[in-house]
Structure 1
Amino acid sequence: MAEICPLHDAVAELVHDGDTVAMEGFTHLIPFAAAHEVIRQGITDLTLARMTPDVVYDQLIGAGLARRLVFSWGGNPGVGSLHRFRDAVENGWPRPLELDEHSHAGMANRYVAGASRLPFAVLRGYRGSDIPSRTDTVATVVCPFTGEELAAVAALNPDVTVIHAQQADRRGNVQLWGLTGVQKEAALAASRVLVTVEEIVPELTPRPGGVVLPAWVVDAVAAVPGGAHPSYAAGYSVRDNDFYRSWDAISRDRAAFTAWLDDEVRGAAGRPDERRTEAR
């Protein structure tokens, strides 16, 4: 059952050196505050998994905490490249980064297989691509019914999945809505689940299209209002487009990035308000 606790305690308890960590969220509900707490605690040698690694993983990679990235696209949405990601791949700074690249469909199916506790998933894809030659997590299988050759992708079961959501109730049931991605599948595939939320409420109000994660799926919930910034949480905040634009210049230069990390994440300015939000 989910424990409601401060973010610092939740990260210290659930995220460990050497873990495979999935921080999912598509366009909004990206768990930046949790990622920053991982940086502050110096949890390292991580395998980072994400369908669309963007600025949040650029920061973790630049902080030197990642040894491997499992992904299907990488970039600063609407702006350009991830320069800390590129520096790690091209120059090994601040450390070399191993890559396991997939298509979006392949990554989504890997999470689904993991959530279903199956060893692999089957899909039509990768044909004509050189991705299968670059990873040991893609293979081919022959359908026992039709004889058709199909792509198979190994299940992805993170040690811990971290997501941001709009609400949790006092028992630790979580609800998210709006533009969602694979948060549900990534949570169900993981051994441990940490959720940061905008607020704790007495009861969850059902919402059309909303995704509910029951308390028995979640290990810890931390109330962190604004925990998705600079992404957004539908119904609570808007996307900080200026930050995404400014990140391009910050991340291009190692010294500028290091200064930003020290000031905005490791320093006092980066420490979130971890007081529990009072239930309405």
Structure 2
Amino acid sequence: MKPALIIGSTCVDVIINIDHLPKTAENLRPTSQTMALGGCAFNVSYIMRLLGGHHTFISPVGGGTYGDYVAKQLKSKGIPVAIRVPEQENGCCYCLVEANGERTFLSYHGVEYTFQKDWMLPYHAENYSIAYVCGLEIEESTGINLIEYLEEHPQLEVCFAPGPRGVRIKDGKLERMMDLNPILHINEQEAYELSGKSNYREAAKALWQITKNTVIITLGEKGTYCLEKNKTSYLVPGTPAENVVDTIGAGDSHIGTILACLTKDIPLRKAIGYANQVASAVVSVKGSSLPEDLVPIQI
């Protein structure tokens, strides 16, 4: 299989650990605060690099304090900066992590969530087999540019992770994304919201009727349910995490593992099993980036 195109954001995650989410006017004292690279596309690309998955990472990096931090961190990791837009500010994401590991995101968007078609001129679509995109980029005003790019290159299969704001993608953009017949990668709650169903198997069927392509639904510790393009369906058991620190980046690392496997022609069912193992490892560490020595698989 040809390499993948990973298109989307690299931002700064400001991770704030708190006992619980504050109520209005409540004064809380965080237990810690750290900064790390984040962003859905970065998380996907990062795990693909660790696993040797062939891909090109297209992520605009802006200016300002956060843009400079992103550029410096990418350089230190040996990751090329494909697009630099220093005249526009980079945003950040405040990640509120409760004592139980659950997270809430407050995203301040900058240039990292935007897309311009001319950025892709050095990268010829015929050299790639699949393109990963996230709903946050589609929701932006420049999301229409990304949709048009994908429409103009129908030879690219699309892997779409609409995310928790997927149902809020307006102006017909969500419908146009679904018309691209994408592989869907979603969690259980997202599946219910997008389909209007209350059972993940029924949700997968309803979404398959729209996309006529594979639907992958992550179910936390229960595992992952998959309804393939050919209508084969199965539940791949989860890998229990010994200690859940936080769930930041778990879904991104899951699809990143699947894409890495697909670029190496590993069957989807086996790829999902690997992805479950990686996601379990990710929730056992702080933040979204799994240290290389803790990667539980080799492919």
The normalised TM-score by structure 2 is 0.33
Give 1 or 2: higher helix fraction: 2
Larger relative contact order (CA 8 Å, sep ≥ 6): 1
